[in-house]
Chain A
Amino acid sequence: MNTAVTSSTTVSRRLVTLPDLSRWPVWGTPLAGLIVAYGLVPWLASDYWFDAILTPFLALSLAAVGLNLLTGYAGQLSLGSAAFMAVGAFAAYNFNLRVPGLPLLVSVVLAGLVATLVGVAFGLPSLRLRGFYLAVSTLAAQFFVQWALTKFGWFSNDNASGVIDAPRLVVAGLAFDTPVLRYVFALSIVSVLTALVWRLVHTPTGHHFIAIRDNELAARVTGVPVLRTKLLAFAISSFVIGVAGVLWGFVYLRTVEPAGFNLDRSFQILFIIIIGGLATIRGAFLGAALIVVFPLLLSRLGQFLFGAWFDSGVLDLSQRIVLGLAIVGFLIAEPQGLVALWTRIQARIQRLLARRTQAPARALP
Chain B
Amino acid sequence: MSSVPSTPERPLQAAGPVLELQGIDLSFGGIHALHGIDLSVAAGEIRAIIGPNGAGKSSLVNVISGLYRPSRGQVWLGGQPYAHVPTARLAQLGVARTFQNLALFRGLSVRDNIALGRVEHTRSTVAEQLLGIGRARREWVDARERAAEVIDFFGLGEIQQRLAGTLSYGQQKRVELARALVARPQLLLLDEPLAGMTVSEKGHMAQLIRAARDRWGTTIVLIEHDIGIVLGLSDRVAVLDYGRKIADGTPAEVSADPAVIDAYLGVAHEGDEPDVPASELPLAEAA
Contact = CB atoms under 8 A, between A and B. Distances in A.
- In the complex, the 9 A-B pairs of residues with the closest C-beta atoms, listed nearest first: A223-B91, A218-B103, A203-B129, A214-B105, A223-B120, A211-B105, A210-B107, A223-B119, A215-B103
Nearest to B140: A204
A231 to B, nearest CB: 12
B108 A204 contact: no
Nearest to A218: B103
A221 B116 contact: no
A221 B130 contact: no
B116 A222 contact: yes
Contacts of A219: 105
A211 B108 contact: yes
B166 interface: no
B107 A213 contact: yes
Nearest to B107: A210
B87 interface: yes
B87 A220 contact: yes
A220 B88 contact: yes
Contact of A203 (B97, B108, B119, B126): B126
Given A204-B119, A223-B91, A218 B126 contact: no
The DSSP consensus for interface residues of chain A is helix
B142 to A, nearest CB: 11
B129 A205 contact: yes
Interface of B: 65, 67, 87-88, 90-92, 96-97, 99, 103-108, 112, 115-117, 119-120, 122, 124, 126, 129-130, 136, 139-140, 143, 179, 183
Contacts of A225: 88
Interface string A193-223: 0001001100111011011011101111111
Nearest to A209: B107
B88 A200 contact: no
A224 interface: yes
A214 B130 contact: no
Nearest to B143: A204
A222 B104 CA distance: 11
Contacts of A69: none
Interface in A326-359: none
A134 interface: no
A60 interface: no
A205 B104 contact: no
A204 B125 CA distance: 10
A34 interface: no
9 contacts: A199-B130, A200-B129, A203-B129, A205-B126, A211-B105, A211-B108, A214-B106, A217-B67, A218-B105
